[in-house]
Structure formats: C-alpha cells, structure tokens
A and B are shown apart, each in its own frame.
Chain A
C-alpha cells in the first residue's frame, strides 16, 4: 500500500538467489579457465622435469630463483586476494556493501570524498549482483594470477592489476582509507588496507632487478617506519578522544566505542568475549592504553626507519606483535558479520614489513651458471614459454570474467530490474481482457480504454495529493518511456487513474502534472472522473483505496499493469519503489522491459 515503505534486507532472497545463479554460471566459465591453467602448468612441470628449471624471467642476468622477499610478498598477497574474493561471495554482499561498508567508511570525510564514494555506490546499487560477482572474480583472479605466475611479465602484470583494482577499492570503497576523516587512526585501519595492497602490487610490478641488493627492503622498512611514526603522532594528538577511555560520566572514547561495537558483531563467542574484555580495559584505563600504543608505534617506527641492523629485528617483531594484537582486539579480524570484505589492514601491513626485512637481509643468490653448459633447445624454450603464457592468460581471463560485465554495467544508467522484483515480487504474466473505464483526462477530454487500442498501455493508480510515492512513480513511468526510446512513443501510452476519493478533481491532476512537469508529455494521461466511475475502475483492477483518518495519506494499492494493443491485460506488477534511487529506477527498467516484451509479442 502507498505510504508503507519497503526496504530491501541485505539477504533479500530474490537478490541472493540471483547472486548465486550468476556466480554459478560465471563459475562454470572460471572452472574451464582454471582447468586450462592447471593442465598447462602440469604439462610445463613435466617438461621442466626433463630440462632446466622453468622459472626464468627472460631478463638477462637475473638469478635462477625468485628473490625470497618477492616470493613471500607474492604468495601472501595472492592468498589475501583469494580470501577477499571468497568473502565477497557472501550472500549479503550485493545489497549490504554500499550501506554497511562503503557509506560508514566515508562518513566524516569531506564532501568531495563522499561524492566519489557515492559515484561508486550508485553504480553498485543499480547493478548489485553484477558488481558483487565481478568483485569476486576480479579478486580471485588477481590472487590466482599472483600464485601461478611467479616471475616474468605475467607476474608483473599481476602486480599492475593488483595496483589498479586496489586503487579502485581504496578510492571508491574505503574513501581513501578514512585518511581525510576526523577519526583517522592506525588502529581502525588507516591508511587503508587497499592502499597496502596497492603498495604490494607496485612492488611486484617492479622489474626483478629492483629486488637485487638491500635498497628495496630498506625503502620498504623506511616507508612503513615513517607511517608508524606519523600514526603515533596522530594517535597522541589531544582532543581526539583516544586518551579518555570510557568513564561512566562521559561518552566512551572512539577506541572503546569501536571495540564495543565490534564485539556485538556475530562471531565466535570466545572472540566476542576477548573484544569485550579489551573494551572494558580501555574504558577503565584509556589513558594508559593509548600511552602504551603511542609509545609502541613510535618505537617501532623509529626502529624501522632507522635502518640500523641492531634495531631492525626487534622492530619487525614488535611491529608484527602490535599488528596481530590490533587485528584481533580492535579490527576483529574483519572477517565476520556477513559483510566483511577483507582481513583489514593489519595482516597486509605485517606482511609488507616482513617482506621489507627479508629483502634487506636476504638478497637473492648470485646467478648460477648452468652446470650442463649446454643451452636449452629453442623449441623446448618456446613450448614452455607458450605453456606459461597459456597458464597466465587463462588465469587473467578469470579477472576479465568479472571486469567485463562490470565495465558494461557501469556504462548502463538503468538500474537492474531485479531490484524491483526483489521489492515487489515477479511480475504476473496474464492474458485476459482488460477491464474498461470511462474517465476524463487532465485536459477534460473523455478517455476510455477502447480509445487506447493499438497502443501498449502502462496503467497505474496514483493519488494526486500524495506526499511520498505517487509523484516518484509518475517520474519512473516517464523514465520507462525514455528507456523505450522515441521510436516506441507512437506505440505506447502511460496512464494513471486517480486513487483518491476526496481530492480527485481535474484541478488536482493538473496541479500534480504541473508539480511533476508532466503537463508537456504527450504520452501521459492522468485520468479522473466522478467517484462512481473511479470506484468502478478501482474494483475492476483490484485496487484498494482507503481514506485514513487523523491526517493520514490516502492508502492505495501500488500496482501497475501492462495492457497490449488489443486491450488484453498482459502483466501485473507491484509499483512500490522501495527506499532508494536504485530500487525506484529499477521499476522503470522492469516496466520498460515488460512493455517491450508485449510490443514484441
């Protein structure tokens, strides 16, 4: 009924089923690609067992083995991307991510940051299933590519792809990691997990010669050290609440509040109790907790940035312990609640620090001379290279399985019709004579259904003095006409019949049209008449209209019909627009689709 809004739950069964179906269908393609990759790898491995090791980079003078730091970085982030991809497949992701992940992340950030994230969430909200499935495959694809392409151009491409996607996530999903929001804190994930993925990707995209010698490791440690020092200063800055804990007299500080919130997330009981205990500790001793934290961050930061060998190992261990503690006690691992998108920032940060240490202290071995002294035959070289390319290309295609539909969706301003079906249920397909009516239009001209023969009619019932949905439904009908295009204009007409027993005169439909700027739309008819004729139409189409006392809006059924050119009722669909622009716009898409189907038949 009009005036009774319907929001979509994150686990709306229609959307969840569609998400599973899409994942299944795309998963079949992915399975074929992965099978191809595995076969190519097996053949290549068999070939390698007969000849030289298969991990040459093609770069002259490079070591026979991948540098240890790079291996750790590649495999760790490959696994992280895989975990992220799997998390993205959670049923609540299509509908839950914009409201529960992106918008909270952007809250408090400057307006232009929120606008950027809104751009992303608008695309996501209009195509939630496509976007969520795309994210699954892009992240799984990057993870697989990192794991299966150890060296060479494809491995570096994996790094570049990782950078590109991580940057997208950092800007549109994490609102720059919250760096521009007033509550920024290392504890809560600043500078953003995706930025750390981006750094890792950039390191992997470097030519392998960059990993020779200690320079890269020193730079990584200096960079992370500087980050720790800056974050220590931010954490120590007075007036941000981190020193106050959560005394009964005042509102809890941000750390206590955050940990308390996280402890309420559905998760294993032991973890929830651990978080509650830490929240209580911070509430009681907030000043001491922050002092320890600031001191630890500063010491670790200085140690890492100093580059002194004596300080490095303790600093790396100290950083690892601090990251692990924060990951569990504050960030709650980032995996629970149904819309956890990644294990948050602490694991990638710890990996980066470890990799920096390995790159500094365990540079790759010198190039080993081929003991046989005989060059590998060119044909074998070529066939093995071809198999390597096949593996990598097949895995990279997994990324494209997600990226291609998402690119198409982002260019489509129409919301997915699935959303309207999630709100209203599937349209009912009918084939029976439509009930006639004898009414007058907004210009005072008599109109009956038979006058509209030869045109496909979109018919609905609207209250001209409605304060909520009716004007929006009229706008979506106009949007449906735009979707159908100018060529369909001569074959369609959009009709509303007044659904208010009191405010039903021509003056009201004219005022409605003026308010909604519909007066100039030639394909629009807003019909009214005396009460008996209106009631006849309401009854014929099963529309309930009820006057609500004490200042309430007239309640009426929100239903739309499609009548074909011969006067047969062909579809009946709910016209509840839901609670956001995406579900509203989805109604226009669905109505246009139904009308197009009727025209085609």
Chain B
C-alpha cells in the first residue's frame, strides 16, 4: 500500500465512520411525538388505606445492598392506634413487595422475583395479615406498586415481565382453589386497542373492579391519558379530559386504585413549565372522569399512597432533602399540603381521621402521627424488626 493509498483509505474510513456516527445520532434522536423524557415511576414504597385498615410496604436493612434489603408489610387496623408487622413468611423478599388491599381485612401481597427466582409468589390474607394463604403469579411482577390488583370477588390482574404483559385471574384468592392466571394482553395489543390517538408506550399499573380491569400507562401523544378499560366487549381508552392548561402535557399514569365500581388515578403531567401531579376519579362505571388541580412536582418522588377516601397522597423530596406531603381527596380541586413530615419518613398513610408518617432505619420503623387538622407530627410507636441479614446470600 502506498502512502497516498493509505491516506485515501484512512480518509474513506473516517468518512464512513462519520456517516455511521451521524446516522446513529439521527436514530437516537426522538422523532416527532416520540417520548424524550423518562416516565415518572412510582417507587415500590407505598401505602394503601381503606375503611378497615392502612397497609404500608417499606424497604429495611442495608438499602445499598440488595441482598440485605428486606421489604416489610405493616398494617394498622382502623380501630387501632398501633401498627403491626405482618410481612408474609416463606419467601425472600429482597426484590420488593407489592400490595393490593381491595376492601375490608383482605389484602394480597406479591413478592417481586429476585436473584434466580423467576416468578412471583403471592400471599393472600383475609384477617389483616394474621395468616396468609400462599398463591403465585407464574411470571415476574413488574416493579411498580400497582403491578398487582385484587378485586373483592376474587378477580385479579397482574402487570408482569417488566410491564410487557398483563395477566388476569379468576378464582378465590383466599380459598383452596387459588388464582388461575392466564396471559391476557400484551403492551402491543393494548397499544392497538388504545389506537394511534394515544400511542401507548408503556404500562405502569393495573386495577380491578367488579366489572372491568383497568390498565394504566403512558401515551406518546400529548394531552392523552393512557387508561385502558378492559371489559367483556373489548378494550378502550377511558375518557379522561385534562384541563385546558394541561392539554399539551404528556401524561404518565403513576397509580391506579379501585374501590367498588369507581377507579382513581394518580397522574404525572409533563409540560413546558415543568412537571406536576394530578388526580383523576371516575364516576361509577367509569362513564366520566373528574380531574383535580395540579401539584407542582419536586425533585424526587419518595412514595405514594392511596387514601381511605380513594384519594392520593404523594411524599416528595426537594434537592436539599426537605420532605413534603400533599393530599388530594375526591371532589377536591386543590391539593392539601400537610406539615412537613419528620426526616427519614419514607411512607405516608392517610386514614379517615389521622395521617401516619413512617420513618425507617435499618431495623426500626418509627411511626409519627398527625391528628386530623393537626399542625405537628407526634411520635407514636417504634417497631423493631428482626431483619434476617445475610440470609439471602
């Protein structure tokens, strides 16, 4: 090869490399309508309250070491002032827990798959966690708090395989029969059902009522809310109409909850002026939806809660670490800001007449209570948890 030949080859190589780089750059650039922002994802740390009880799932142990992070379930019956540790036994829960508390004393806890376990065992209770019936989903639950939804009559839905698919079950979760799961619908099938007007890109939550399964996610198209109602007649997008100020916002469904025949959703709105949260509630049967006012989003979403009134609470943290709690109940336009919770708080539980802030250190849960209308949090209870360090290695 002559010197000029070498130079020519080098030049050609550089040109090809440049072309490849440019094309790769183009391929990586979002086209019109493509999502260019990360979706808002609810942390697994969460709480759910209903008329009978408040439930909370929190990680404990050494949170920087997945094999020494153990998730716990705590419950406080509405009639009691004390929380109880009711983590279901029999499975290592390092991968996280998801919880669905449809009504009364019922709850179903799902173990997220971790290490070499590839499916998700479940634990169902009808006595506020005093005893559990083992169940399973024959796939891995997604890493969102509403990956599992149990209905009051034994129906259930699960978001599995990193949100790629929805499984549904018919059965008696607390009896001998157990859930009988079937792979129901995939993201791509739901995207087709939701139509190009939405451009469904991801799934993030499921909820179950007596008549329908609701599946939340994100639309590529601005101003569209990705909640698909799945009924016997097929799948269709529910008619959530955002306020005019949010018509150009991109929307993520962060949480979905069902109570009776009503469904509520916690939404994250992403617009030109930043991000905000909003809540939406369906009328009975889901024919129409009401949307709350916006709550400007702070730097980090710490946890989310469904309230006993089927509203939502969000616990957020600003860049300097300051915590803030806001609650929005059905029928309210504005979010109510509560007094800043104590440092270390990871979850909020909003019941009818009191709000709890739960703080954790590696082996203790400390409960702070805010009485109805109160201005200060008071320390109420300390629970020491026997974290089984080293048992998952």
Contacts and interface: CB of A to CB of B under 8 A. Distances in A.
A22 interface: no
A130 interface: no
A555 B386 CA distance: 15
B62 to A, nearest CB: 13
A467 B92 contact: yes
A554 B135 CA distance: 16
Contacts of B390: 3-4
Contacts of B118: 515
A58 interface: no
A501 interface: yes
A511 B70 contact: no
A152 interface: no
Interface in B221-244: none
A467 B117 contact: yes
A267 to B, nearest CB: 33
Given A467-B392, A551-B388, A552-B392, A507 B178 contact: yes
B392 A508 contact: no
Contacts of A504: 134
Contacts of B113: 467
A500 interface: yes
Nearest to B91: A465
A471 interface: yes
Interface string B332-376: 000000000000000000000000000000000000000000000
A511 B387 CA distance: 28
B136 A549 contact: no
Contacts of A550: 60, 70, 72, 85, 87, 385-388
A505 interface: yes
Interface in A467-509: 467-468, 471-472, 500-505, 507-508
B36 interface: no
Given A5-B393, A502-B134, A549-B89, A515 B115 contact: no
Interface residues of A, number: 29
- Residue of B132, B385, B388 with highest tally of chain A CB at under 10 A: B388
B309 interface: no
A466 interface: yes
B91 A468 contact: no
A514 interface: yes
* SS of B interface (majority): loop
B336 to A, nearest CB: 34
A477 to B, nearest CB: 15
Interface string B127-146: 00000101110100000000
Contacts of A52: none
A4 B87 CA distance: 21
Given A3-B393, A4-B390, A550-B72, A503 B91 contact: yes
B83 interface: no
Interface string B48-76: 00000000000010000000001110000
A515 B113 CA distance: 12
Given A467-B115, A550-B386, A551-B92, A511 B393 contact: no
B90 interface: yes
Contacts, number: 104
- Residue of A3, A507, A548, A553 with highest tally of chain B CB at under 10 A: A553
A41 B136 CA distance: 77
Nearest to A471: B116
Contact of B138 (A4, A514, A547): A514
Interface in A1-49: 3-5
Contact of A503 (B94, B121, B388): B121
A465 B121 CA distance: 7
A538 B72 CA distance: 29
Contact of B94 (A5, A467, A502): A467
B44 to A, nearest CB: 13
Interface in A547-574: 547-555
A553 B134 contact: no
B114 interface: yes
Contact of B393 (A465, A468, A508, A549): A468
B292 to A, nearest CB: 35
B92 A503 contact: no
A552 B89 CA distance: 7
A508 B118 CA distance: 12
Contacts of B391: 3-4, 548, 552-553, 555
Contacts of B377: none
A500 B71 contact: no
Contacts of B132: 502
Contact of A511 (B72, B87, B90, B136): B136
Given A4-B391, A5-B393, A507-B136, A500 B386 contact: no
Nearest to A475: B116
Contact of A468 (B93, B116, B121, B388): B116
Contacts of A472: 116
A549 B391 CA distance: 11
Contacts of B392: 3, 467-468, 552-553
A514 B121 CA distance: 14
Nearest to A579: B393
Contacts of B91: 465, 467, 502-503, 553-554
B119 interface: yes
Interface string A440-472: 000000000000000000000000011110011
Contacts of A549: 87, 89, 386, 388
Contacts of A555: 391
Interface string A495-538: 00000111111011001001100000000000000000000000
A547 B390 CA distance: 15
Contacts of B388: 548-552
Contact of A553 (B72, B92, B119, B135): B92
B393 A551 contact: no
Contacts of A548: 89, 388, 391
A508 B134 contact: yes
Nearest to B118: A515
Contacts of B116: 467-468, 471-472
B96 to A, nearest CB: 10
A511 B136 CA distance: 9
- Residue of A466, A501, A503 with highest tally of chain B CB at under 10 A: A503
A554 B90 contact: yes
Interface in A124-180: none
Contacts of B135: 507
A503 B386 CA distance: 22
A554 to B, nearest CB: 6
Contacts of B114: 467
A507 B134 CA distance: 10
Nearest to B178: A507
A501 B393 contact: no
A548 B391 CA distance: 9
Contacts of A4: 390-391, 393
Nearest to A554: B90
A551 B70 contact: yes
A555 to B, nearest CB: 7
Nearest to B114: A467
A58 B70 CA distance: 76
B70 to A, nearest CB: 4
Given A4-B393, A505-B134, A551 B117 contact: no
Given A549-B388, A550-B387, A553-B92, A508 B136 contact: yes
Interface string B102-133: 00000000010111111101000000000010
Given A4-B391, A5-B393, A549-B388, A466 B87 contact: no
Contacts of A547: 89-90
10 contacts: A5-B393, A466-B117, A468-B92, A507-B178, A508-B136, A548-B89, A549-B89, A551-B94, A552-B92, A552-B388
Given A467-B113, A468-B392, A553-B391, 9 more contacts: A465-B91, A465-B136, A466-B92, A467-B91, A503-B121, A511-B136, A551-B71, A551-B93, A553-B91
Top 5 A-B residue pairs of the complex, sorted by shortest distance between their CB atoms: A502-B90, A552-B388, A551-B70, A553-B92, A551-B93
